[in-house]
Amino acid sequence: MTNEQLYTLLDKLISQPAENRWLEFKQNKCITNQEIGEYISAMSNGATLANEPFGYIVWGIKDITRAIIGTNFSFIHAKEGNQDLELWLRKLLTPSIKFEIYEFDYNDNKIVLVQIPSAKGEPTYFKQKGYVRVGENKTNLNDFPEYIRQIYNSMEDWSAAVIENATINDLSPEAILEARNQYADKNPKLRNDIEQWDDITFLNKAKVLIGGRITRAAILLLGKPESEHFISPAVAKISWILKDKDNVEKDYQHFACPYLLEIKNVYSKIRNLKYRYLREGTLFPDEVVQYEPYIIREALNNCIAHQDYSLAGKINVIEKEDSTLTFVNSGSFIPQSVEKVIENDSPETIYRNAFLANAMLSFNMIDTIGSGIRKMFILQKNKFFPLPEYDFSNQQVKVQIIGKVVDINYAQKLVQTPDLGLHEIMLLDKVAKSKPLNSDEIKFMRKKKLIEGRKPNFHISAYIAASTDEKAAYIKNRAFDDSYYKDIIIEFLKKYKQASRQDINELILDKLSDTLNNQQKTIKINNLISNMSNKDCTIYNDSKAKKTSKWKLQN
């Protein structure tokens, strides 16, 4: 913007009756870099709620009087650690928004103005968390589900857009025939009527056309391969990639529309081998397929239904010979949290591509119950396999499915403690994968007596270990009282009169919890020796003993 345009904009903002959902004034920096990111999220979301194209943060203005006093804050020189503040903010905002920064003089007062685009069909998040201004306060967007719903409802459904120059001839007759069969299976009472409908009537009834006109959803699900250009710059591509255990690509194949037919071909590429258990008692099954067909179907169709096609990315299905499958689609995860989906166990009310999702429902590609993710978790749990692993970084949704028992002891816990709920198993899965627990999860697991140890080195508790005959592993992982280690050192000194640091290391190291790494074990021994010499006064360092200092008992 030119200076004149900036002056006009600033005058308009100052004339607002008060700060609001999309406008924030600051006299000077006075907030942390973290808070700047939170305010950008709040102003973007607030602009959508107020039907404004942009939100604004302005430095150099008094909030109440609106006096222009200037600021010494500058984005140009601001840093977060060693990184430019602007770059740091842009990396942590999802989806990526092109906010603009303007630094200019107004009547000899420096002004910093940030113009922030309104959230486009989904909330703007900072560090995976959304914010909104309510009254005078910036607060957590998740506390206001009606606002989240309003932001999503503002979205233009990409999949429902009509393609003016496309016709029924651009759709695959084979795909339409398969769509009729699937629609009839789902609606058996209409089977005779379906046979009488022409293609356009049928596809209107199935809600994949709008008034007989071809939609983007119709191209994706039913289009001929050469019709992909109608949705450009979006693409209709699913890539199956096979990699070996060293992550080296061995094979690949690309699949285009019509997705209704091609998902079967993608499925056929996946080598769903038999998995044979190492038998432990009689509770394990003899063998199962590595990947439940339902899980493959659900994960792949979720990629199609929830792909953000405006990002022009393709869907990837990555199969590795170490028995893992990874499904990747572009876009954010709308519920924001898998835990939220599992706990609510209810259909999502918001879809990125609602028209496409409804069409897929008509063709029996997805379930109406809306609990597919929960069912995926239950199927993995019932086979004693690790739970699905989700990653929402880099504006993608990745879900990894492991088709084998990774930790036989963990599997035994699930076999022999069938009363554990899914929430508890999800947390135990975190512990087994050495993933961090938050404070609420730690409190819950301790109350249930499911974990022991100190943060972050938790291990499964004796209660579970005893129920799975894993007492030896429990003893190896648990931490003894400091008095236990001190007694060992004292007994050694009583017998041998003195000990070098190497002697003490050899005496204690193999008795420390296996949940500690080497550095943590060294620190633990340092603390023990310091405590015994400075607080307990039971040992002292005889630095005159030869060239190497020795520890001895106090008289």
| Span 284-301, pLDDT tens digits | 777 899 999 999 999 999
How would you class 247 by CB atoms within 10 Å of its CB: exposed for 0-12, middle for 13-18, buried for 19 or more? Answer: exposed
Closest CA to 227 of 198, 256, 248, 185: 256
Query: How much is the mean pLDDT over the chain?
Result: 88
Residue 279 pLDDT exceeds 60: no
Nearest Cα to 423, choosing from 337, 508, 363?
A: 337
> What is the value of pTM for the model shown?
0.70
Residue 245 backbone dihedrals phi, psi, to 5 degrees:
-65, -20
b/e code 374-395 from CB counts within 10 Å (16+ = b): bebbebbbebbbbbbbeebeee
Beta bridge partners of 300: none
| DSSP-derived pairing of the beta strands 54-59 and 23-26 | parallel
Does 38 or 534 have the greater pLDDT score?
Answer: 38
Per residue, the 3-state secondary structure of 172-194, as one string, reads: CHHHHHHHHHHHHHHCHHHHHHH
Task: Band the pLDDT of 373: cuts 50, 70, 90.
Answer: confident
Q: For 54-100, what is each residue's pLDDT tens digit?
A: 999 999 998 778 889 999 899 888 999 889 999 999 999 988 899 99
The Cα–Cα gap between 209 and 215 comes to: 6
Q: Report the DSSP beta bridge partners of residue 129.
A: 126
Predicted confidence at residue 451, as pLDDT, reads 81
Confidence of residue 545 (pLDDT cuts 50, 70, 90): low
CB atoms within 10 A of CB 204: 16
pLDDT at 309: 94
Which H, E and C letters describe 273-319, residue by residue?
CEEECCCCCCCCCCEEECCCHHHHHHHHHHHHHHCCHHHCCCEEEEE
Q: Around Cβ 438, how many Cβ atoms within 10 Å?
A: 9
Q: What is the CA radius of gyration of the chain?
A: 31
pLDDT tier for residue 474 given thresholds of 50, 70 and 90: low
Question: Residue 270: its pLDDT value, please?
Answer: 96
List the structure tokens of 124. 């703007």
DSSP letter for 497, please.
S
What pLDDT score was predicted for residue 22?
96
Q: What is the C-alpha separation between 442 and 454, in angstroms, rounded?
A: 10
Q: Give the range with max mean pLDDT: 69-73, 408-412, 463-467.
A: 69-73
Region at 66 (left for phi over 0; alpha for psi -120 to 50; beta for the rest): left
372 pLDDT higher than 60: yes
Question: What is the mean predicted confidence (pLDDT) over 418-422?
Answer: 83
- The reported pLDDT for the residue numbered 183 is 96
Query: 278: pLDDT confidence band, cut at 50, 70 and 90?
Result: low
Whether the pLDDT of residue 342 is over 90: the answer is no
Task: Give 364's contacts (C-beta < 8 A, 6+ positions apart).
Answer: 182, 183, 185, 186
H/E run at residue 115:
strand 109-117
Q: What is the pLDDT of residue 100?
A: 95
Check if the beta carbon of residue 320 is closer than 8 Å to that of residue 245: yes
